[in-house]
Structure 1
Amino acid sequence: MKRHQFLKACAAALCLAASSASMAQAFPTKPIRLIVPFPAGGATDLFARTLSQKMGEKLGGTLVIDNKPGAGGAIGSDMAAKAPADGYTLLLATTSTHSIGPFISKVPYDTVRDFTPIAHVGDAPSIMLVPNNSPAKTVREWIDHAKKNPGKLNYASSGNGTIVQLTAELFKAQAGIFVTHIPYKGTALAIPDLITGKVDVLFDSLPTGMPHVRDGRLRALGVTSLKRSPLAPELPPIADTLPGFESNTWFGLYGPKGLPVDLVARINTAANQALSDPEMRDKLSRLGIEPTTSTPAQFASMVAEDAAKWKKIIVERKITGD
């Protein structure tokens, strides 16, 4: 009897494996929905539209962008978490949805339990901008200037609880300086005040910040990636002055929890192949994004480390959202 039960169990397992393999071979048989939890026209949306076409080619199917903005990305992320785990609903997540948002406000999902990590697909570093009349021409000189003027300098951000504010707070913590926070409703609104010297520093994205530098209206002191960015190779990493300093907006693909391993592998391979394409890399660089490739495990590990870093800053600095 026990032998009979064992053979039945083995047969059932083989059938399940065969069914899973068959599903992976047939996948995709219909369009794949890629949820973008931010509005159309933004950086995440533009990245998704650039990536989806090439990924679709590699998968032999079509990826359809579905913008579901709101609550800092939480609405679209929750929809992805609750979707069937069949590979036909994916999420393009970011630092905001999985590393920062859950520690700023309550979200309806668990970033680890409710998702299946698939691939880390890109990073967008920022640059440290100061007015042209700033006495500092290097990161070290700016830190020294701040230490000589405690409480007299300020920094702009795109709002409370944003990656821009957190980057500045991380910088303050590692540099051991006190600088006052002035939140704006987006960095575009802060740029005019930075140019005129009403604010003293801003950590802005490369695509929006560098044009002002190259036009001679602002000065860039460094980049927030650990190494020089191919998008602005002339800028030294801030980490050259503050060892280990790093702040990137990452982008990554997730599926709902329980996504079969074979489908994860198929989608991961398609993403990595798409991101290795020279034309794709060139398009993304124009968006200010450095394409990356990874295994699902590497992606999960990166997010865990990133979330722990930002949680520490949020708790220690008592940061809240708008």
Structure 2
Amino acid sequence: MNKLMRLHWLWVLAFPFSASLAQEGARPALKLVVPYSAGGSTDYVARLLQKPLSEILNQPVIIENKPGAAGTIGTDFVAKATPDGNTLVFGNQGPNAIVPAARPTPYDPINDLRPLTTVAFMPLVLMTSADLGPKTLKEFLQRGRSPGTTMNYGSSGTGSLAHLTGHEFSRQGKLDMTHVPYQGGGAVTTALLRGEIQGSFATGLESAALMQSGKLRFLAVTSAKRLPTLADVPTLAEEIPGFESTLWFAVFAPKGTRDDVAERLRNAVVKAVERPEFQKYLAARHAEARTSTPQELTQLVKQDMARWGDVVRKAKIPM
């Protein structure tokens, strides 16, 4: 056997061992848990983050949907996961602030999760059917305040931010409105188009396409100021001073995650959010990509626990 052949066979015999070493040295996939079903705003933004985060970490990132119990099942799964940096939750103020403030949950949102950073902020949009609903915010308010008139508004679930925003809109705006819960945003949209409900609150991610198609009409946004992408749509605060409601998304790790691991993961998420294509995509859908420090995120959770927990308790909303 000549020298070249001997080298060839040595490489062939050694390759399986080399490959196994490479596999052992590779990082396992990072599991990013979304505590809701696929297709909603939370899932949508998590999947938008998935590719850049994987590229920055040089590690596979897998989205795992664990819906149920208003987002608390998936959140609890991560709170109890091994704190090795391979399992994170992509949360919002639902399971991270509103639900724990309203009823006991199997995890403490402050003590059982380690905040990394916010990812995006989205004001909600008051929508109605372009054919069957009121044409302007003033008309909506006038109709809702008319004696003997009852209006319905829908949301994707009892206790959701859309539900609580609608409740506060009705209370502060002195409207006679009845909440109708549905299973998911698609069912809410269908009810709007059929005239079963007169309004609903949703994000631009869920409604931009239908608004552009002319089937839905945006009456107002819940941000403090008008949005640059919807400059002709008024804020609710223009008619109800001080009204504001914003949905946020953030990444959390299990509480015991080491400092260096948490910092590496946070830096990667921040870099992914700062990518121009990520920012532009959300901006076009009336949302803002924005990161925070862990301390700022903790404060945000506490603020929403106080604010929305108070709303739930006073209104005796079952959660």
Distance 2:180 2:70 in 1: 20
Within 5 A, what are the aligned runs for 1:9-28? none
- Cα distance change on mapping 1:32 and 1:188 into 2, 3 Å: closer
Partner of 2:263: 265
SS at match of 2:33: strand
CA drift of 1:133 comes to 6.1
Distance 2:37 2:156 in 1: 16
What residue ranges of structure 1 are gaps of 5+ in the alignment? 1-26
Q: Deviations over 1:64-106 (max 9, x none)?
A: 3233222222122112111222322211112221122224554
- Code of the residue aligned with 2:184 in structure 1: it is G
1:129 pairs with 2:139? no
Match of 1:281 among 279, 282, 285: 279
Residue pair 2:230, 2:286 contacting (<8 A) in 1 also? no
Question: Which region of structure 1 is more displaced relative to structure 2, 136-145 or 165-174?
Answer: 136-145
Q: Deviations over 1:122-154 (max 9, x none)?
A: 123321113446785443443233223365222
1:183 pairs with 2:181? yes
Partner of 2:109: 111
Partner of 1:163: 161
Partner of 2:52: 54
Q: Deviations over 1:205-227 (max 9, x none)?
A: 32333333333333221112223
Within 5 A, what are the aligned runs for 1:1-322? 29-132=27-130, 136-149=134-147, 152-285=150-283, 289-321=287-319
- Cα distance change on mapping 1:135 and 1:85 into 2, 3 Å: closer
Which protein shows a greater Rg? Answer: 2
Distance 1:272 1:254 in 2: 13
Q: How many residues were matched structurally? A: 295
Question: Which region of structure 1 is more displaced relative to structure 2, 27-36 or 257-266?
Answer: 27-36
Q: Deviations over 1:226-253 (max 9, x none)?
A: 2333554442222233233222321111
- Code of the residue aligned with 1:185 in structure 2: it is Q
Distance 2:284 2:133 in 1: 31
CA RMSD of the aligned region, Å?
Answer: 2.7
Distance 2:239 2:83 in 1: 45
What residue ranges of structure 2 are gaps of 5+ in the alignment? 1-24
Residue pair 1:50, 1:283 contacting (<8 A) in 2 also? no
Residue pair 2:41, 2:206 contacting (<8 A) in 1 also? no
- Cα distance change on mapping 1:319 and 1:237 into 2, 3 Å: same
Identity fraction in percent: 34
- Cα distance change on mapping 1:317 and 1:59 into 2, 3 Å: same
- Code of the residue aligned with 1:269 in structure 2: it is N
Distance 1:92 1:28 in 2: 24
Q: Deviations over 1:38-62 (max 9, x none)?
A: 2334432332222122123333433
- Cα distance change on mapping 1:149 and 1:111 into 2, 3 Å: same
CA drift of 1:272 comes to 1.6
- Cα distance change on mapping 1:229 and 1:307 into 2, 3 Å: farther
TM-score with structure 1 length normalisation?
0.80
Residue pair 1:151, 1:180 contacting (<8 A) in 2 also? no
SS at match of 1:146: helix
Question: Which region of structure 1 is more displaced relative to structure 2, 165-174 or 265-274?
Answer: 265-274
SS at match of 2:124: strand
Distance 1:135 1:289 in 2: 25
Residue pair 1:119, 1:296 contacting (<8 A) in 2 also? yes
Residue pair 1:50, 1:284 contacting (<8 A) in 2 also? no
TM-score with structure 2 length normalisation?
0.81
SS at match of 2:304: helix
